[in-house]
């Protein structure tokens, strides 16, 4: 006998109040931990202890939640018992979404790309509008466990389910590797471990939640992780804003700093020393091109030149930091011709990019910037701006927004979160809460990017190399691909064109750059860890559940018991996490680019099949299968012919310009895959038999409100 609706709603409210009290206590305890670490730093506690305490305490709390929520019941393990209130599912979804890419990478890409980086914010937030309108309520009314489950039920047969499971595994695995890379970067930053060891230390934090309790443990851990990551993001942002502008509301007041950044950038564009660095960078690009003609000879010459430099520095009694930097560069020189060739290609490409004004970065306020005469950035339509390059910049911006919107709406680990709510209406409200909590960080990210850039331009650029802040040397020692400086023109002063900062380091180094206490640096790192762990947990479950539930249980062994399904998922979580950690240990950089590629693949694989499956009754099994394969094929092929790593792997030698359509970058390949998927799905569905009567009833069930539905 079903409980009355009023009683059910009353129980939901009581459960929500209990959760609110628990997480309020958690937040108070977290603030107490922050205060204790601030006092400990003032009393002289070693930095290593502060970082380790932050890391151990927060991960221990996540582990405790995971242990308490351990379960082997399928409905609890796969969908958290379908009793997560809308607000808390919104918090958990926001944490699931706030990956290492969002927390670490969004402000970084805005720092590097300025206006162009807004494509990520527009695309990701716009995707939740599509999700609320087109997918979330209908998938919740479906009432099963996974996205491939829906494809199998809607289209019938095993082929759509298997294609969906394969796509979910592939897309989520690419994404989870990037999260574990972020875990390794943050763990090594906090503890001083090597990057590779940091990956596997952080891996324990990922497994302790997803392995023990599945979606139930992951959900309640993610709520706590969202609170941690938002506090960690807002504390340094607010502190920098107060220091620079006197305002406690950085999102409303950072405009004045944006104007000051624009003024400094205009001055740097006309600075003779910056132009000298640009000319020398162009010469370096030419030198790297020459080295590629005879790699072996170039290797010997470089080694000899570096040894002579070290000897000269020692003879001149140069500062120890310069000697150590030169020795480190010698030790890191490539030892094989293949490694050297890749290094020279990177040096050539990097030097070419930095041979223009502002080290190759567009001005912070200039939309669709392109290089004009002398490498000066100009907007489209400005004097000297190539119209075709402006058009390409605008096309890429729009294409990336569209790909991120459709990829967000079709991302399997996000869609699964809306299976966990008690009702369809709660699922719809949950999307709204998700968008609200996500927007809090996305509104803050542009402000942080501008405040950090102002600190760099105002207080770092122009300093003598011997007086650079300690954070420059510390981060360059940790990983030269994140931060590096080199006196290109030999004047002993740091020009903006001589400083390289990767986007992945902007948020993590923001407290150091702003001169904030060390505990703030640790707090930010803990927030980044929470973001990476929360998303990694959700992605691992998506991969493991697709393999165990959709492949093992639905196809290989339909009679498998509930306990066997859960055990299979737990084993797969461990195996997949270990493989992902091995790949992440290879130091895949540029987090945001890899994540964006995953979104294009998700959009091409799922968006047409899900949308037409809900809103077009004529869509059938053959059409869905053909559409998913065609969309994935086009998207994957475009990436393979345009991404440098894949081009080298497949031996593609055609010029890059000949492989691109309308100049669209490979990370936005979904803009081609999705239309192809829609077109093929419609054409094949119309050319084959329509769905049967049972499928029509299924469509009516998910489209139309059911009696007693809330």
Q: Identify whether the C-beta of residue 319 lies closer than 8 Å to the C-beta of residue 466.
A: yes
pLDDT at site 360? 84
* Cα–Cα distance for residue pair 447/268, rounded to 1 Å: 22
pLDDT at site 3? 44
Q: Distance of CA 708 to CAs 81, 133, 140, 479, 705, Å?
A: 20, 22, 15, 58, 9
* Cα–Cα distance for residue pair 232/48, rounded to 1 Å: 19
Count of all residues that appear for the chain in the document: 710
pLDDT at site 1? 36
- The segment with the largest mean pLDDT, out of 42-51, 200-209, 636-645, is 42-51
Answer CATH for 43-453+469-710 from 3.40.50.10780, 3.30.365.10, 1.20.1730.10, 1.10.10.10: 1.20.1730.10
Which structure tokens are listed for 89?
């599912």
| Higher pLDDT among residues 215 and 597, named by residue | 215
Q: What is the pTM of this model?
A: 0.85
pLDDT grade for 11, boundaries at 50, 70 and 90:
low
Query: Would the pLDDT of 571 be above 90?
Result: no
Q: Which tens digits make up the pLDDT trace of 262-319?
A: 999 999 999 999 999 999 999 999 998 888 888 888 888 888 888 888 888 888 887 7
The secondary structure of residue 491, as a DSSP letter, is: S
Query: Would the pLDDT of 705 be above 90?
Result: no
**Cα 147 to chain centroid, rounded:** 22
Q: Distance of CA 568 to CAs 28, 255, 539, 547, 565, Å?
A: 38, 53, 16, 9, 5
pLDDT at site 603? 93
The structural domains of the chain, with segments of one domain joined by +, span 43-453+469-710
Please tell me the least confidently modeled range out of 151-155, 174-178, 280-284, 518-522: 174-178
| Higher pLDDT among residues 149 and 10, named by residue | 149
* Cα–Cα distance for residue pair 673/367, rounded to 1 Å: 27
Q: What angle in degrees, to the nearest 10, is found between the helix axes of 47-68 and 5-42?
A: 160
* Cα–Cα distance for residue pair 621/400, rounded to 1 Å: 30
Spatial neighbors of 146 by CB under 8 A, at least 6 apart, are 78, 168, 412, 416, 419, 542, 545, 546, 549, 550
Spatial neighbors of 176 by CB under 8 A, at least 6 apart, are 535, 536, 539, 540, 543, 576, 577, 580
Coil, helix or strand at residue 501 = strand
| Higher pLDDT among residues 380 and 400, named by residue | 400
Q: Identify whether the C-beta of residue 678 lies closer than 8 Å to the C-beta of residue 627.
A: yes
Average pLDDT in the 532-552 region? Answer: 82
Q: Identify whether the C-beta of residue 566 lies closer than 8 Å to the C-beta of residue 211.
A: no
* Cα–Cα distance for residue pair 302/445, rounded to 1 Å: 41
Q: Which tens digits make up the pLDDT trace of 446-502?
A: 999 999 999 999 999 999 988 899 888 888 877 777 888 888 888 889 999 999 998
pLDDT at site 667? 85
∠ CA 648-650-651, nearest 5°, is 60
Dihedral angle sign, alpha carbons of residues 679, 684, 685, 687: positive
Average pLDDT in the 678-695 region? Answer: 94
Phi and psi at 663, nearest 5°, equal 75, 15
pLDDT at site 633? 93
For 630-666, letters b (16+ CB in 10 Å) and e give bbbebbbebbbbbbeeebeeeeeeeeeeeebeeebbb
């Amino acid at each position: 006998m079903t409980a009355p609706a009023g009683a059910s709603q009353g129980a939901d409210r009581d459960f929500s109040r209990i959760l609110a009290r628990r997480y309020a206590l958690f937040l108070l305890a977290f603030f107490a931990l922050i205060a204790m670490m601030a006092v400990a730093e003032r009393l002289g506690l070693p930095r290593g202890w502060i970082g380790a305490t932050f890391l151990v305490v927060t991960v221990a709390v996540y582990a405790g939640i995971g242990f308490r929520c351990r379960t082997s019941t399928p409905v609890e393990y796969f969908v958290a018992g379908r009793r997560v209130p809308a607000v808390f599912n919104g918090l958990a979804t926001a944490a699931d979404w706030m990956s290492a890419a969002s927390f670490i990478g969004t402000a970084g890409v805005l720092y590097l790309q300025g206006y162009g980086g807004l494509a990520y914010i527009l695309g990701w937030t716009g995707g939740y509008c599509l999700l609320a309108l087109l997918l979330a309520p209908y998938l919740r009314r479906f009432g099963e466990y996974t996205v491939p489950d829906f494809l199998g039920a809607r289209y019938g047969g095993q082929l759509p389910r298997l294609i969906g499971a394969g796509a979910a595994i592939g897309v989520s695995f690419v994404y989870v590797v990037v999260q574990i890379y972020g875990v390794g970067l943050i763990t090594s930053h906090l503890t001083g471990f090597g990057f590779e060891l940091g990956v596997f230390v952080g891996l324990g934090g990922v497994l302790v939640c997803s392995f023990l309790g599945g979606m139930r443990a992951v959900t309640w851990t993610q709520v706590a992780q969202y609170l941690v990551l938002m506090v960690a993001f807002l504390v340094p942002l607010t502190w920098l804003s107060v220091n620079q502008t006197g305002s406690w509301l950085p999102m409303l007041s950072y405009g004045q700093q944006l104007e000051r950044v624009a003024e400094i950038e205009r001055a740097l564009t006309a600075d003779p020393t910056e132009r000298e660095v640009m000319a020398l960078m162009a010469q370096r690009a030419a030198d790297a091109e020459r080295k590629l003609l005879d790699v072996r000879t170039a290797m010997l010459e470089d080694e000899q030149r570096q040894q002579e430099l070290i000897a000269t520095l020692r003879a001149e009694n140069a500062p120890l930091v310069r000697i150590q930097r030169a020795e480190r560069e010698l030790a890191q020189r490539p030892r094989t011709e293949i490694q050297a060739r890749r290094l020279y290609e990177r040096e050539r490409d990097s030097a070419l990019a930095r041979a223009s004004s502002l080290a190759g970065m567009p001005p912070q306020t200039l939309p669709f910037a392109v290089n004009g005469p002398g490498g000066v950035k100009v907007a489209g339509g400005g004097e000297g701006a190539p119209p075709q390059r402006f058009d390409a910049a605008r096309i890429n911006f729009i294409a990336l927004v569209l790909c991120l919107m459709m990829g967000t709406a079709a991302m399997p680990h996000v869609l699964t979160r809306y299976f966990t709510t008690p009702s369809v209406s709660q699922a719809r409200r949950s999307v709204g809460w998700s968008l609200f909590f996500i927007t809090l960080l996305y509104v803050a990210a542009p402000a942080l990017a501008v405040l950090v850039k102002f600190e760099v331009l105002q207080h770092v650029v122009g300093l003598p190399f011997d007086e650079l802040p300690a954070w420059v040397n510390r981060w360059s020692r940790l990983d030269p691909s994140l931060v590096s400086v080199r006196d290109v023109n030999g004047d002993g002063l740091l020009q903006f064109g001589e400083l390289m900062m990767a986007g992945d380091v902007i948020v993590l180094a923001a407290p150091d750059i702003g001169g904030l206490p060390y505990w703030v640096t640790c707090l930010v790192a803990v927030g980044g860890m929470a973001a990476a762990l929360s998303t990694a947990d959700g992605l691992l479950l998506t991969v493991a559940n697709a393999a165990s539930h959709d492949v093992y249980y639905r196809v290989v062994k339909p009679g498998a018991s509930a306990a066997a399904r859960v055990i299979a998922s737990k084993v797969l979580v461990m195996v997949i996490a270990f493989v992902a950690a091995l790949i992440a240990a290879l130091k895949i950089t540029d987090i945001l680019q890899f994540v964006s590629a995953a979104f294009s693949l998700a959009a091409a694989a799922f968006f047409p099949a899900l949308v037409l499956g809900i809103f077009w009754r004529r869509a059938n099994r053959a059409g869905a299968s053909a559409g998913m394969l065609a969309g994935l094929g086009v998207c994957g092929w475009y990436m393979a012919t345009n991404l440098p790593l894949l081009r080298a792997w497949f031996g593609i030698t055609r010029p890059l310009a000949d492989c691109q359509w309308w100049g669209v970058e490979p990370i936005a390949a979904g803009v081609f895959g999705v239309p192809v998927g829609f077109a093929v799905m419609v054409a094949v569905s119309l050319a084959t038999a329509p769905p049967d009567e049972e499928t029509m009833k299924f469509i009516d069930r998910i489209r139309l409100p059911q009696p007693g539905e809330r």
